[in-house]
Structures are given as C-alpha cells and as structure tokens.
Chains A and B, each alone.
Chain A
C-alpha cells in the first residue's frame, strides 16, 4: 500500500462536522462539500448571504524594497499599477505561457504584496516565485498564519458590518482594508468567487471558530447559511470564474482561457510574456466558450464536445445552474467557432446531446 498523507484540516474542521456537513477530500484537504443542500446554499448566496470556510487557500507574501518588481515579474497583471489597498486578479505563468496558478494580488504597501493562491498549488507557487526572485525582496509562505472566511451575497455587507468598526461602505470592489472583526485583527477584502458582492476576510487561525459563529449569529436575521464547496462551484461557474484544474492548467494560456484582460503585455517583461506574444501573432487554436444544453442531459467535466458532428473540444466545467434552471457549462472549442450562437453537441454517455454556445457570464448581478 502506498503511503497516503493524512488529510489537512482547516481551523474550522470540527465546526463543519458539528454543523453536519458532508466532508470530502478536496486536493488533500478535508473540506465541507455541503451542509443543508447545494441548491439551498447556492440560493442563499444569490438572495441573502452565505459563509464559506476558505482557509485551505494559500497566502504568500512578497516584501522588501523591490517587492513590486518581483510581483510585476512573476504575475501577468500590472502589479505596479495597483495602489496600496487595492486587489486584482492575476496569474502566475510558466515560460511557455501555461498557468502555474490563478491568484489574487493585494498591494499592502510599496514594499509589501499579499498573494492569495489556490490550496493545492500553494507549495508549487511558492517555489515558482522564489526561483524567479532575482530582486531585493523576500518571499514567504504564510498560509499557516491565516484562516480565511468568505461572506458573500447581497446581505454580506450588512452581516459583516455588525462585527467591525471598519466602514465597509468605504471599501470598493476589489479593494481591502486592515482592521478588526469581532476584536481580532483582520484583512477585509471586497472580493469573492461567487458573482455576488461580498468580502473575504483573513484572520488568525485561533480566532476563526469564534468569528465563524459570530458571523452566523450576525447573519441570522438575513437568513445566512454556511455554504460548502458544491455551491461554491455552481456559483463561480454561473459567474464564469475559472477553476484551476478545469478551465486552466499548465497546458492552457490566459489568452485561450478568455483571460486576456489579466495579461498586460505592454507592462514590461514577465514570465511567460514571450510565449504569449508568439501565440498572439500565430493566432489561438482553441478558446473557452460558454454553452447551454438544449437537449436533455447535464454536461460534466471532461465530456467530449462535437462541432459539425466531429470531435472539437471538451467540457471544462458543467452543471445544472440553480439560478437559471438550465444546464450550463464551459468548454474549449476551436477559436474560430468559440463565439455565441454556435450549435454544438456534448457526448453524454455515448450519445450526442444538442447544446448551443452562449454569452457569458451566465449570471451577472444587478448593480
């Protein structure tokens, strides 16, 4: 028998079990996939507020006089153009242009950047950034110093405001503030992975369980629900947010993944820039597209996609959409047909089932 490392647990593990969550192995982490039910949890986030334990996510800090230069060199987005207190979505790439990971970059100060990275990629990301560090900067893996709780939904603001003196109204979308929540030091970012307004708060692990129960109490009047990975996936899919290992991985570039907006080719040199410039000139072979099923059936990750009756791509994510009551998905298609209105078919249990490419995101909240 090969040695299987024990699952890693977040500081909220026993809280999830006490809530009756169904737990699963998620990339080596023992995580809640659902509490009351995926659809109910999904709807709570779209209409009220949901709480997510995302403490498995990794955090990496870049500090020092040339922290900005290192951040600029290892990420695709224009880290140097961030202001202190601002966040943006970005990517770490290999020289060949494929994804190491997709990340959030927070600029704390000119000499201090705070990166939030995917749980299962954190060690790889840390090694990647460190190996690229030829600057006067230090790189530190600080994942163990933070628990992370996401408060998401139209009532997230009202819920969280009850527990913090920080004026949340002054934090704009994709900005953050350092302050206190329930008396514990917290980094409060107005970011999320649901397509709703909301906050992601980074707190000391020792305070996580108390904070979680206080947030549940604060949100009770709004109908707050704890939300597991099942609904996290349907929420992000409706908002067409990429998931590493599905829409993106080492073999996919941000241009193919419809993420050209996080690539600033004009900002100067960064890892992967040369490969992306080449691909831009030679043209893309494939591109990410959204689709809706027209026939009966649910497309699932990895299913083959046909165009004009012939194999043309694959489904990266597919699911029923609880908000739209349709079966939706994302897939890779030849670039020339990866635009809305194309009839395609998805192979479901050896049967081609009709679908059509559509505009994305599938869901956009009313502002």
Chain B
C-alpha cells in the first residue's frame, strides 16, 4: 500500500528523496479521508519550502486541508496537470499525482520522517 522507499509525515505527506532532490505528495490515506478532490493550491517554481510549514492546500467538495512541507528546499518543478485534473489525486496519489519536486537544502531531514511501516501503524492507531 505505502511504498517502502517513501518517507511519511503524521500530516499525511510523503517524500521520495533521491540524492539532493525529492518528490513530495500526499498519501493515499489522505486522499481517502478527503474524498473527491476538486482543487489543489501549489507553490511556484523557485519557492522556498521549510519543513513543517504550509506549502499549499488541497480541497475536497467538503473541506480545505493544508499541505505541510515534509522537507526543506527550493521548488524545482510543480505538477501542472493537477490544476486542471485535481481528481488525479484520488486515483494515483503515490504516483502521477505527485505535487512538487524540490532541491533539498538539508537532505538529512527526510531520514527523521516515518518509514512506511511506522506510518501504517500510525494511521492504524489514529482510527
């Protein structure tokens, strides 16, 4: 369910770090909790993210939910397809519907996040 090579936050973001770059998204659990996703607000290329600070938001029909940066860095790419097809987040949150790519300012940060097994246990306990 949750890819082993990702790291996770308790706010339900994932990060895939590869060297000094990383891809960020929200988890399948997050999309399920939100329901039909209809809007995604993302930062622009060049924006500086700080771990734990809001990077954008995702909205379902019912509610707005903040997305927090799981790691610090500079945004190098934004998934432009989500502006027109936010519903992709309901279908492939761990794949095609990634949110942003960043150049990491502190690659060690990702190490401190939850492993897939820890995240699975965390959301199990949350219920």
Q: Mark A320-354, 1 if CB is under 8 A from B, else 0.
A: 10100001000000000000000000000100000
Q: Say yes or no: A34 contacts B35, CB within 8 Å.
A: yes
Q: Say yes or no: B62 contacts A349, CB within 8 Å.
A: no
Contacting residues, chain A, for B41 (C-beta < 8 A): 297, 349
Distance, CA A78 to CA B61, complexed state (A): 37
Distance, CA A298 to CA B61, complexed state (A): 9
Q: Say yes or no: A230 contacts B35, CB within 8 Å.
A: yes
Q: Say yes or no: A298 contacts B64, CB within 8 Å.
A: yes
Distance, CA A40 to CA B60, complexed state (A): 13
Distance, CA A320 to CA B87, complexed state (A): 13
Q: Say yes or no: B62 contacts A322, CB within 8 Å.
A: no
Is A37 in contact with chain B by the CB < 8 A criterion?
Answer: yes
Q: Say yes or no: A37 contacts B39, CB within 8 Å.
A: no
Is B36 in contact with chain A by the CB < 8 A criterion?
Answer: yes
Is B11 in contact with chain A by the CB < 8 A criterion?
Answer: no
Q: Mark A291-329, 1 if CB is under 8 A from B, else 0.
A: 000001110100000000000000000011010000100
Interface residues on A, range: 10 to 19
Q: Say yes or no: A37 contacts B64, CB within 8 Å.
A: no
Q: Say yes or no: B57 contacts A38, CB within 8 Å.
A: no
Contacting residues, chain A, for B62 (C-beta < 8 A): 33, 38, 230, 233, 319
- CB proximity to A under 8 Å, residues B35-76: 35-36, 38-39, 41, 57, 59-62, 64
Is A39 in contact with chain B by the CB < 8 A criterion?
Answer: yes
Contacting residues, chain A, for B35 (C-beta < 8 A): 22, 34, 37-38, 230
CB distance from B87 to the nearest CB of A (A): 9
Distance, CA A328 to CA B83, complexed state (A): 18
B residues contacting the other copy or chain, number (CB 8 A):
12
Distance, CA A230 to CA B83, complexed state (A): 23
A38 and B61 contact, Cβ closer than 8 Å, known pairs A297-B39, A298-B38, A320-B38: yes
The residue of chain B having its C-beta at the shortest distance from the C-beta of A322 within the complex is B61
Contacting residues, chain A, for B36 (C-beta < 8 A): 37-40
Is A234 in contact with chain B by the CB < 8 A criterion?
Answer: yes
Q: Say yes or no: A320 contacts B61, CB within 8 Å.
A: yes
The residue of chain A having its C-beta at the shortest distance from the C-beta of B36 within the complex is A39
Contacting residues, chain B, for A38 (C-beta < 8 A): 35-36, 60-62
Could you give 6 example pairs across A and B, Cβ below 8 Å?
Answer: A34-B35, A38-B35, A38-B62, A320-B38, A327-B39, A349-B57
Closest 10 CB pairs of A and B: A38-B61, A320-B38, A39-B36, A230-B62, A37-B36, A38-B36, A298-B59, A298-B39, A320-B61, A38-B35
Q: A38-B36, A230-B62, A327-B39 are in contact. List 12 more A-B contacts (CB 8 A).
A: A34-B35, A38-B60, A38-B62, A40-B36, A233-B62, A234-B61, A296-B39, A297-B39, A297-B41, A300-B64, A319-B62, A320-B39
